[in-house]
Amino acid sequence: MPADAVGHRVVHGGRRFVGPALVDDDVERAIEKLSVLAPLHNRRALEEIRRAREALPDVPHVAVFDTAFHHTLPAAASTYAIPERWREEWDVHRYGFHGISVQWVASQVDAERLVVCHLGGGCSVTAVHGGRSVDTTMGFSPLEGVPMTTRSGSVDPGALVYLLREKLLTLDELEHALERESGLAGLSAGGSGDVRETSQLALDVFIHRVAAAVGAMAAACGGIDVLAFTGGIGEHAAHVRERVVEHARFLGDFRVEVVESREELVIAAETRRLLEP
């Protein structure tokens, strides 16, 4: 069962999966345990995995992880400046997401220094140098980074601590607001996360943050040869692309590509690679 949105790097049997994995009960439990980190993705994927395993018990089922492509992140990009116990005992690191999408774009674009803007329901910007992910905006969870349709992107953690300490929101209310009531929807009247209907402020904030991320990813690559757009917004919202490119032109001469998202082809190839002798 291709599960392209299960989200987090899975620890199973004392080792990490940084590629596709045959789904068994242990892998399923590990995905369930990590659902709290990517609730919009993992829980839905887990439901489909269970349905598929029940309907086809004699067929091998494969999980392809959205974090796998980012296992090449250098320590400087994957490490938070937090206490050692958090990092070593609790495994709090930057893992990155949208790896399946970025892997597809990297396979379609000939560029040594590539910056990929995956802009859709979820949004991220990734630096790919020599075909390897070297930095990305999503981190420990898909909430980090640029604003999305309903997700906030990065917010000062002090603001979140304040909301909890002052009991202005419960933990569940905070999570729900960050996941489902923020981003473009949170900045638009009526809560629309559709980039075609969003407010001017929402669009300005979105473009500002995406363009800033492009600059950061170009720095991680040591420059930029190609800026690629994919995902629903990236492929179809020309006005968004044009404004992001305009903001990024200070980076020098680079090519702009629009790549149709074909994550299912990456999932199929990874599944075949695992199953074929």
**Using the 8-state DSSP alphabet, how is residue 145 labeled?**
S
Rounded Cα distance between 146 and 262, Å, is: 22
- What domain range is 203 assigned to? 110-263
Tell me: the pLDDT tens digits for 129-145? 999 999 999 999 999 99
Judge whether 270 lies within some domain.
Answer: no
Tell me: the pLDDT tens digits for 182-207? 999 999 987 777 888 899 999 999 99
Judge whether 249 lies within some domain.
Answer: yes
**Residue 85 structure tokens:** 């116990």
Does the pTM of the predicted model rise above 0.95? no
Which of 66, 91, 156, 204 does the annotation list as catalytic?
66
Tell me: the pLDDT tens digits for 251-264? 999 999 999 999 99
Q: What is the mean pLDDT of the chain?
A: 91
Rounded Cα distance between 2 and 60, Å, is: 11
pLDDT on residue 16: 55
Judge whether 230 lies within some domain.
Answer: yes
pLDDT band at 43 (very low <50, low <70, confident <90, very high): confident
Instruction: Indicate if 110 belongs to the active site.
Output: no
23 C-beta neighbours (distance < 10 Å), count: 20
Determine the average pLDDT of the residues in 212-230. Answer: 98
3-state secondary structure (DSSP) of residue 56 = coil
Rounded Cα distance between 153 and 159, Å, is: 13
Judge whether 234 lies within some domain.
Answer: yes
Judge whether 9 lies within some domain.
Answer: no
Q: What is the CATH number of the domain that holds 147?
A: 3.30.420.40
**How many domains are contained in the chain?**
1
First to last CA, the chain: 19
